[in-house]
Amino acid sequence: MMNYRYIIIILTVFSLNLTLAQTPDWQWAKRGGGTINLQGNETTSTGVERVLDLKIDSNNNYYYLAEVSGAQTDYDGMPITTYNNNNTKDIYMFSTDCQGNFRWSKSIGVVLAILQILLI
């Protein structure tokens, strides 16, 4: 009998949590990265991109540290200069305001091994 009470209490708590959960409200989102070509059963990507770190200053400006690879990489349709071939990655630093509007960027060509050492 005691086990049923615990189960009912737990289910009630979880169901209340689900019904009171807020729907996320997106302020902004931007597209970035390389292109992907779907060919039959094969997926081919022109680059590998990912954000490694993010900082926000007191003025609510965002600073990103990312790694990029490939020649057709972009941020919200704006091309990113890359200095690598398909075997290496570049460091890409860029900044946006709190609304996601682009402020500035800097690409640095670097070998992947150096990037991994810097991030340790």
Per-residue pLDDT tens digits for 40-65: 555 555 556 788 899 999 999 999 99
* Structural domain range at position 70: 49-120
Contact 108, 86 (CB under 8 A): no
For residue 91, being part of any structural domain is answered with: yes
For residue 37, being part of any structural domain is answered with: no
Contact 68, 76 (CB under 8 A): no
Quick check: pTM over 0.85?
no
Give me the number of domains the chain comprises.
Answer: 1
* Mean pLDDT, range 86-93, rounded to an integer: 77
For residue 106, being part of any structural domain is answered with: yes
Give the CA diameter of the chain.
Answer: 69
Contact 107, 83 (CB under 8 A): yes
> Is the model more confident about 19 or about 40?
19
* Mean pLDDT, range 69-89, rounded to an integer: 74
For residue 95, being part of any structural domain is answered with: yes
Quick: pLDDT tens for 24-35: 777 777 777 665
Report whether pLDDT(118) > 90.
no
